[in-house]
A and B are shown apart, each in its own frame.
Chain A
Amino acid sequence: MRRAGLPLALALLAGAGAGASSAAETTAITGARIVTVSGPVIEKGTIVISGGKIAAVGADVTAPPGAAVIDGAGRTVYPGLIDGLTTLGLTEIGSVSGSVDVAEIGEVNPHAKAWIALNPHSALLPVARANGVTAALAAPTGGLVSGQSALIRMAGSTPDALTVKAPVAMHVVYPTGRPPFELARLFEEPELKTFEERQKDKKKNREKELRRLGNLLQEARAYGEALRAGGAKPDLPLQSLAPVARGEVPVVVRADAEDDIRGAVAFAEEHALKLIVAGALEAWRCADLLKQRDVAVLLSVDRLPRRESDRYDAAYANAARLHAAGVRFAIVSDDASQSRNLPYEAAMARAHGLPAEIALRAITLSPAEIFGVADRMGSLAPGKDANLFVATGDIMDHRVSVTHVFVDGAPQSLETRHTRLYDQFKDRR
């Protein structure tokens, strides 16, 4: 069963296709192990999808007459995975700048909106989807204020069709005070400065950048009031920042070092911002603070520890430590082409102390809660959008295959650029 792999997956999909369950029709997956996430695991049950929503789920539920039935015996049904930090839809081939729309020129781009530049025909989306990812946060990167993110679904042929919610957050890179990386600099003579001098420079730069950001927020607040009074000239950056300054739109601050995370928390408090920390390599060093201020964290697991003196598994065990401290967090790929490996990042956290059910929650319901869409997705419950998938076993097991994916009740093809190349070349002699 585990080695079913692709041919079986395609055959099953074809079978489902024959039942032709569009979003408007009814599909039932029967006799499956159902991992609801919001409730207990149903060891053998049925889930009914109708009108794009989950109509029923339970051990005693039966397939309604006329429903397309998928035999789920020996299979596991999961809510669609939500990758809480990606550049999906904004990038195609990393080294080909013409295919990359992730970072605008300049430092302050609050008016750069991810949902404007989504490419619904990206080859990367079906690849993520084929391993169970049905939604992702598409976020701009770079600069000081990178821009605004959108939560996207992994199906649809226009940017609007992809967009579930926008904006979700304003994205900021916490200023480290280091000058931005430039390849050319590598070939210059290094400046002769002592460690202390360099630390002082960094601190000065960082404070300058934070003041700049603070001033922007103040202006944005004033701008928002002027706008309401009808007396504001057009200013796209301030207009975009105004809801952030009012605390209506959360701000995702990318910060890895303990000092930077603490700095971000202090800054958010000073400006009354709704803070989410991303990256968060050293979040475990300030877990109590994050808990106390109720700061959510978007965590990527498969990283090297920040300090040589750290335990080898500092990044792997980060999630377990945040969980123990009661911090809200999601596990994210922080990537685009590797988004399909999201369940394996959760697995690494699980292998290093995070309870299995929390690891799964961190890639389903927890990101849905952090982004304010838990009423629609993240778990298997009646009334929720039918974003779900069927797998041959534990989705955190690398050997397990996904056999069916539904987005808003519509069955999705599991064909990808990768399966097509496989079919084209596997038998070439």
Chain B
Amino acid sequence: MTRRPPAGSVGAAVLVLAAAVQAAEEPVAIVGGTILTVGPQGTIEKGTVVIRDGKIAAVGKDVTAPAGATVIDAGGRYVIPGIIDAHSHTAIEAGVNECSDAVTAEVRIADVIDHRDVNIHRELAGGVTTVNVLHGSCNAIGGQNAVLKLRWGKGPDDLVFEQAPRGIKFALGENPKRSNFTVPGVRRYPATRMGVEAVIREAFEEARAYEREWDAYGAKAGSAAAERPLPPRRNLRLEALRDVLDGKVLVHAHCYRADEILMLIRLAEEFGFKIRTFQHVLEGYKVAAEIARHGAGASTFSDWWAYKLEAFDATPYNAAIMAAHGVTVSLNSDSDELARRLYWEAAKAVKYGGVSETEALKMVTLNPAWQLGIDGRVGSIEVGKDADIAIFSAHPFAPDARVEATLVDGVVYFDRARDGSAR
């Protein structure tokens, strides 16, 4: 398995490419729109966003477009931070699942990015700028995810969100225990929720032992003794899990039932790591207090239910209840189709449980940004953040709202008016 260069160098290359496309050294100004910053500046009527070098340079009512700026007229329109989908399988080349083993922590989505997937374009047309591309839920511990920026037209490495922390997929319940499907000729452990717990426990016991082996080797190798010890054999699977134990890899855990959520919290706390997000988490509302105390985020569907037994106690009030308990909640798609209308998924949180409009919009912008560890870069319209922005024809929750333009790093990647010719 080849190793990627450090993410930082990829990022530098991307900015150079972006410059080639739209002359990013020249400023861009989005003028006259209602800006829903989702940040400390709140809502700004008839405001201006100034973008320099792909970053937001100024935001406000009294801000004026600098001389020489490319001006985007947003009069009568709504300007919001680019939408972030915390659960996506877009742009994966062929298989989403490495199903062959109950633990496949060594595989990486970043190695199989299909940058030609037309759904990148279609999601941009829904105001989406960043997606968390996850391994499937076939096994208790799946592969490592890739956070992508939707820089449509760029190569696979250029899509990777530079500086986004690494992450990994876990899965609990019916999928890893294979309740709803069988692969002919193959039976695989586990087949119960007991087995799912045992698989995860065993994997982390092994990862701990692996870490001890390397620590012992490090201690010996560093000593002045004449004897040169042999290094332990490298194990990419255990290396990834060791990094989870060390807090270097964010855990995104697919789950449904309340009991399995509590199980994973218990197990993680016993091994001394954190769950960053519970994904789907349709019964999260039953144990919202425990999720909040652990400090995990929750990334859920607005209202999907009844498609399997563990989804029968779902309620569209899930997001509101978890948020009221202090959980950082995002609303995700898990679907190339639904990803294009996440702004309306957010609006449902207003209807079901009375979440404020700003908090609801956070559930598809700033909250998923936090869940992916990139809230310092994206998720709100604030000076210094990446200029990832969606421009809507009306308030994004309104019934006639549609996306007119989407920018990533200050570059227009979707423009409805020019869509026919630009694609």
Would B307 and A337 count as touching, CB distance under 8 A? yes
Residue pair B308, A311 in contact (C-beta under 8 Å)? no
B308 touches A96 (CB 8 A): yes
Tell me whether chain A's interface is mostly helix, strand or loop, or mixed.
loop
Given contacts A350-B399, A351-B401, contact A399 B351 (CB under 8 A): yes
Residue from B118, B184, B347 within 8 A of A184 (CB atoms) = B184
The 0/1 profile, CB within 8 Å of B marked 1, for residues 392-429 of chain A is 00101111110000000000000001110110011011
Given known contacts A5-B353, A399-B350, A428-B286, A421 and B313 CB-to-CB distance under 8 angstroms: yes
**Shortest CB distance A354–B (Å):** 10
Interface hits, B172-193 → A, CB 8 Å: 174, 179-185
In the complex, the answer to whether B337 meets A394 with C-beta atoms within 8 Å is no
Report chain A residues within 8 Å CB of B180.
Answer: 95
B419 at the interface (CB under 8 A from A): yes
Q: Would you mind naming 28 contact pairs between A and B with Cβ atoms under 8 Å apart?
A: A6-B317, A95-B179, A183-B181, A187-B183, A302-B337, A311-B419, A311-B423, A312-B121, A312-B419, A337-B304, A344-B344, A350-B399, A351-B401, A351-B402, A356-B399, A356-B400, A394-B399, A397-B398, A397-B399, A398-B351, A399-B351, A417-B315, A418-B316, A421-B315, A421-B317, A422-B321, A425-B288, A426-B317
Contact of B306 among A3, A336, A356 (CB under 8 A): A336
- Residues from chain B with Cβ under 8 Å of A6 in the complex: 317, 352-353
B285 part of interface (Cβ distance < 8 Å): yes
Indicate if A334 sits at the interface (CB-CB under 8 A): no
Binding site for A on B (CB under 8 A): 118-119, 121-122, 125, 174, 179-185, 285-286, 288-289, 303-309, 311-317, 321, 324-325, 336-338, 340-341, 344, 347-348, 350-354, 356-357, 393, 397-402, 419-420, 423
Whether A5 lies near B354 (C-beta < 8 A) is yes
What are the nearest 5 A-B pairs in CB distance?
Answer: A398-B347, A95-B308, A396-B399, A422-B317, A337-B306
A344 vs B344: C-alpha distance in the bound complex, in angstroms? 9
Q: Given A304-B119, A308-B118, A426-B321, do A400 and B351 touch, yes or no (CB 8 Å)?
A: yes
Q: Which residues of B contact A94 (CB under 8 A)?
A: 306-308
- Measured in the bound complex, the distance between the Cα atoms of B347 and A221 in whole Å is 52
Closest to A308 in B: B118
Q: Does A332 contact B (CB under 8 A)?
A: no
Contact: B353 with A398, CB < 8 Å? no
A231 to B419, CA, bound (A): 64
Tell me the complex Cα distance, A311–B356, Å. Answer: 34
A302 contact set on B, CB distance < 8 A: 337-338, 341
Complex CA–CA separation, A417 to B305 (angstroms): 11
Contact B397 A399 (CB under 8 A): yes
Partner of B174, one of A95, A123, A341, A418: A95
Number of A-B pairs, beta carbon distance below 8 Å = 137
Chain B min CB distance to A31 (Å): 24
Question: Which residue of the partner chain A has the closest CB to B180?
Answer: A95
- Which A255-309 residues have a C-beta within 8 angstroms of B? 302-305, 308
For the complex formed, measure the closest distance between the CB of A397 and the CB atoms of chain B, giving whole angstroms. 5
In the bound assembly, the distance between CA atoms of A312 and B420 in angstroms comes to 9
Q: Given A421-B313, A426-B321, are A398 and B350 neighbors across the interface (CB < 8 Å)? A: yes
Interchain CB contact under 8 A, A347 and B337: no
Shortest distance from the beta carbon of A79 to any chain B beta carbon, whole Å: 18
Q: With the chains together, A418 CA to B353 CA distance in Å?
A: 11
Contacts of B324 in A (CB 8 A): 426
Decide: B306 and A92 in contact? CB cutoff 8 A. yes
| B-facing residues in A78-127 (Cβ within 8 Å) | 92-96, 123-124
A347 engages B351 (CB within 8 Å): no
> Could you tell me which residues of chain A, from 1 to 29, have a CB within 8 Å of some CB in chain B?
2-6
Nearest Cβ on chain A to B63's Cβ, whole angstroms = 30
Quick check: is A313 within 8 A (CB to CB) of the other chain? yes
CB atoms of A187 and B306 under 8 A apart: no
Other contacts beyond A336-B306, A429-B325: 6, CB < 8 A? A6-B353, A95-B180, A183-B182, A350-B400, A351-B400, A418-B305
Query: Closest residue to B312 on the A side, CB-wise?
Result: A93
A348 within 8 Å of B (CB atoms): yes
Give chain B residues whose Cβ lies under 8 Å from the Cβ of A376: none
- Per the bound structure, the CA–CA distance linking A5 and B182 in Å amounts to 42
